[in-house]
Amino acid sequence: MIEERSVKGNTGTSGKVALLTPEQQEIAQRELVADARFRQQLDQAQPGDVLGEVTSVNISRKKGQRKTPLANGEATLLQDFGCEGDAHGSSEWHRQVSLLSEESIAKARNRGLDVREGDFAENLTVKGFAPYFIPLGTVLRIGAEAEVEISQVGKVCHTRCAIFYLAGDCIFPREGIFAVVNRGGVVRVGDTVTLLRRGEGSCDKTPQEAIDEVESARAAGTL
């Protein structure tokens, strides 16, 4: 039996109602349960708690490309700039470093995509928590030294990426996050991600128009 229902992210570009098989329904239900668990985890987390760990460190030399996992598994985060050697690093904007979880990438695989770390252009792939539930202004320590402050949750894609054209959907605009680098340091695969300070929903370095754009798209269901 195939159930017909509308599922955000499964309608592709046509806007037609998605058809879910029983297996897809079961996967979707597991994802909802996992999201609820991750939200509760972050709600209960206290400063000093370890949220998860880094599983891949990725960079690209040009914007608009998938990022490549670094073979040595480490990179330097430069204060008020971003990931050394990455095209998105800049002191002129608030999206200096991007993060996406392994759990989000697994959702894309569950929808039939052959994707891996870096394919959604995230600098740091992490696991064990859902970054998209973290409020703006939250400060995380990554590894021994680096500290980042969450500056944006989600994004609006003005130009469609290769993943979108492949699947009719891309998960990063909904579940990826961005941060500014408050303190530089080396980050490595296996490093822990620790909550230092819970944010109150704002970041001084984030333009209001960037927040408004994402919130409007989320309200309209277009992320």
pLDDT in tens, 100-153: 999 999 998 888 888 899 999 999 999 999 999 999 999 999 999 999 999 999
Q: Taking the model in full, what pTM does it have? A: 0.86
Instruction: Tell me which of 195 and 23 has the higher pLDDT.
Output: 195
Instruction: Tell me which of 223 and 37 has the higher pLDDT.
Output: 37
Domain 47-220 has CATH 2.40.33.20: yes
Q: Where are the domains of the chain?
A: 47-220
pLDDT in tens, 11-43: 333 334 457 788 888 888 999 999 999 999 999
- Residues 99/131, Cβ–Cβ less than 8 Å: yes
Lowest mean pLDDT among 29-38, 63-72, 74-83, 168-177: 168-177
